Structure 1
Amino acid sequence: MSATWSCCNEDKEEDCATCCQCKHLFHLTCLKSTHKRADPSDFLAPNWRCFLCMSAAPARCAVSANNKTSRSKKRLALSSPPSANSDPATTEDIRTIVSEIIEAETVKMLAELKNTINSMVTSELKTIKDEIQSMKESMAFIGNDYDDIKKELTTYSALAKNLEAQNEDMKNTISNLTGRLNSIEQHARSSNIEIQCVPEFKSENLVSVTKQLGSVIGHNVEENQILHCTRVAKLNRDSDRPRSIVVQFCSPRARDGYLAAAINYNKKSGKEKLNSSHLGIAGEKKPIFITEHLSPSNKALHAAARVKAKALGYMFVWVRGGRILMRKDSTSEYKVIKDKTCLEKLV
């Protein structure tokens, strides 16, 4: 009599378990695949009963193994015990049950994952929304500050323009006052001459030097015509030139006569112009210059005019009545140099 298999109905040689009640046989591999959490040693116990006998009525358990009926095509419902008239579950039924369980678990997991993702996204979006709101508030604050700064800038810009206009007026005023002060200083020197490069001696008599030079140039000077006579400090202390002698005459006319005589003498003398030998000073001949006594501003302007004349090829630079004059050649017109702006315009 052949064995009755209640698992897969395949008569194959391998270990099997026998139900102590219905005497049906079950392959251990089939039982292991169906009852994964069960201990395999329980299937080999003498009192082991299959799941059909454990859940069936007493009448169903007494049926002989040879009176086995065919299994209904209908699958058992999930989580419900088999009925007394049901056939043993096949591998296909078990696979279907497992697939439904997996599908249900998958749906549950997907729902939980969806809820988790929604919660995370909602939380992150809330954080981003708060940051955007904070940025909006900051931008509004900056915008208000920008408007205030713009207003202040407009105010300060107008103030700066006003100050610039005032500064320009002050510059013009200062320039005008400087010119007037220079004119006053030059006018105060209208009776003075400056004798340059006369060697210095401790016991020198500057009035006698002035009178002696007057005799040389053919213009005798009375002592009462000389109001004051002194040497002045050097502008450049490192210079090795002797200090200049400033002579103040009693009037501009007396000064102009002395200057004119000195100019005529130098024109007529050729190479023997005024020098230290005319004063009876032995040794190397050193030239002596007699010029108008210029104010500090005019003296600096005169020096700058000589440098400019040399650079541009001007032949003549001279001083007359406290004014600085330039001429490119003997045929061109002379130019009055009032300030450095006039020098910059020369070509």
Structure 2
Amino acid sequence: MAEVIAQNTEIKDAIAFTSKQYDDMMVQLHQLESERKSDRVHIQQLEEKVENLERMLYSTKIEIRNIPKKPGENKDDLCTIITRVGNVLETPIQRQDIKDVFRVNYKDSKSSAIIVDLSSVILKENLLKKGRHFNNKNKQNKVNSTHLNIEGPPKPVYLSERLAPKTQGLFHITRNFAKDNGYKYCWTSYGRVFLRQDDGKQQFLIKSEGDLNNLLQEK
């Protein structure tokens, strides 16, 4: 009888020990999960700060595409092109309004773009606004190389805001999403990506691919 009682006691002790181990393990798992969530929030906050800093860095930059590059081209030549663009769009740009200007080459083609960093967001936004207005008013003669006194056959010239790399990638994804899902408008403003299905419809601020997935689920 004493032996049976001893065995039961050992079993109870083993069960209690195992139960305590399980409880301790669950506490540790909950702590790890809590720390993981906290780390994820912290990482997201850091990513948002970096994104805001990048947006500020690019907030005064414009990208001008499809302007032929001439041999021996230098910054003075590029500044001349920028001032001509400003004159065509009735937005005077002085040399002191240009903080920097340079060309970048695209990896997937032989084309290049002129990147200009202007003195203020106001000047940048005004130039883009005047560009849209000019093209809407002159649908058969939109901004092109002849307006800029560039020799050769006329080539369309495209102006857009220069986007941070992450936003540029998101904009590319969103444009494809718009084409595939019947959204009429996809654009950027102040370094952010927007989407609208049609005239008069609600516009959506797209911060990540997750926002696009949410739109699909809502359809």
TM range (shorter): 0.7 to 0.9
Q: Deviations 1:234-267 (Å, cap 9, x if unpaired)?
A: 4xx2x11523222111122221221111111111
Among residues 239, 254, 275, which one is paired with 2:144 in the alignment?
Answer: 275
Q: Does the 8 A contact of 2:105 with 2:111 survive in 1?
A: no
Change beyond 3 A, Cα 1:281–1:172: farther
Q: Which residue of 2 aligns with 1:181?
A: 50
Q: Deviations 1:288-341 (Å, cap 9, x if unpaired)?
A: 221112111211111111111111111111112222221111121211112222
Among residues 79, 104, 111, which one is paired with 1:232 in the alignment?
Answer: 104
Among residues 183, 190, 200, which one is paired with 1:321 in the alignment?
Answer: 190
Change beyond 3 A, Cα 1:158–1:309: same
How far did residue 157 of structure 1 move? 4.6
Q: Does the 8 A contact of 1:197 with 1:241 survive in 2?
A: no
Q: Which residue of 2 aligns with 1:200?
A: 69
Change beyond 3 A, Cα 1:148–1:224: same
Q: Does the 8 A contact of 2:171 with 2:193 survive in 1?
A: yes
What is the identity, as a one-letter code, of the residue corresponding to 1:217? L
Secondary structure of 1:232's counterpart equals strand
What is the identity, as a one-letter code, of the residue corresponding to 2:84? Q
What is the identity, as a one-letter code, of the residue corresponding to 2:179? K
Aligned residues: 200
**1:154-303 alignment to 2 at 5 Å?**
155-204=24-73, 205-232=77-104, 234=106, 237=107, 239-279=108-148, 280-283=150-153, 285-303=154-172
Q: Deviations 1:259-296 (Å, cap 9, x if unpaired)?
A: 1111111111214322334332414x543221112111
Among residues 324, 334, 338, which one is paired with 2:203 in the alignment?
Answer: 334
TM-score of the superposed pair, with normalisation by structure 2:
0.79
Q: Does the 8 A contact of 2:86 with 2:127 survive in 1?
A: yes
Secondary structure of 1:345's counterpart equals helix
TM-score of the superposed pair, with normalisation by structure 1:
0.52
**Which structure dedicates a bigger proportion of its chain to strand?**
2
Q: Does the 8 A contact of 1:191 with 1:250 survive in 2?
A: yes
RMSD across aligned C-alpha pairs, in angstroms?
Answer: 2.6
What is the identity, as a one-letter code, of the residue corresponding to 1:195? I
Change beyond 3 A, Cα 1:240–1:286: farther
Change beyond 3 A, Cα 1:264–1:161: same
Secondary structure of 2:130's counterpart equals helix
Task: Find the aligned partners of 1:243 and 1:169 in 2 and give their Cα distance.
Answer: 43
Q: Does the 8 A contact of 1:195 with 1:290 survive in 2?
A: yes
Structure 1 residues without counterparts, runs of 5 or longer = 1-143
Q: Percent identity over the alignment? A: 25
How far did residue 151 of structure 1 move? 6.5
